[in-house]
Amino acid sequence: MTRASDTQDGPVVLSKEGLPGWLDPVVHAVETVRPTQLSRFLPPEDGGGRQSAVLVLFGEGTRGPELLLMERATSLRSHAGQPSFPGGALDPEDGDPSGDGPLRAALREAEEETGLDPSGVQLFGVLPRLYIPVSSFVVTPVLGWWREPSPVGVVDPNETARVFTVPVVDLTDPANRATTVHPSGHRGPAFLVESALVWGFTAGIIDRLLHFAGWERPWDREKQVPLDWRA
């Protein structure tokens, strides 16, 4: 098996070999989900938007499967203070945006933002590219298995406020789920976990993965969390 970062210059590959059995539903979801099942915001047909990638990293903690998240610094211009997956815009050295560029970018950004050692990550899937209208980002969600966990934490306080993991069992707990309501009228899924409100693009991805992996539990969609105009 070729790991995601066996080599700095060679191709970055996807591999499903040796994944834990509990990831099977996620693998199936990644292979079968259609873009419109994930979001109504899809990349512009003219190819516009800034190419970017996020790393959706599954690990195994003391309470079972978990996801790696970070909280963005409040000083950032885009999505300040929001919990998110590690990730960011593609750099020229990441390579072809239509090839393995998003895979490289997801790993590079995760390393820069959380100190993650990419050599311990096995990339196994890529979701359809999605669009974030407010920032014009075209985002490729890259899924990985944290085969060999490494220490993580804040690398640059100007970029990241906190790095943390969230057990999947907490994400599926109906008591931790809610619907955010923006003054513009937009509604979306949210998770109240680890002293954080996870909402927006990140919550949308988590919500759809839980749903299509068959992990979702019935929850009260009328439980609302209001957002303000700065969100």
The domains of the chain, with CATH numbers, are 21-166 (3.90.79.10)
pLDDT band at 63 (very low <50, low <70, confident <90, very high): very high
pLDDT of res. 3: 40
Residue 177 parent element (H or E): strand 177-181
pLDDT of res. 48: 83
pLDDT (average), residues 211-225: 96
pLDDT over 90 (residue 134): no
The pTM assigned to this predicted structure is: 0.92
pLDDT of res. 81: 74
pLDDT of res. 77: 57
pLDDT over 90 (residue 10): no
pLDDT (average), residues 158-168: 93
pLDDT of res. 83: 94
Pairing assessment for the beta strands 224-226 and 177-181 based on DSSP bridges: parallel
pLDDT of res. 9: 57
Task: Return d(Cα 208, Cα 204) in angstroms, integer.
Answer: 6
Which range among 128-137, 166-175, 204-213 shows the weakest confidence by mean pLDDT? 128-137
**At a CB cut-off of 8 Å and minimum separation 6, what does 47 contact?**
none
Asked if 43 and 51 count as a contact pair (C-beta separation under 8 A), the reply is: no
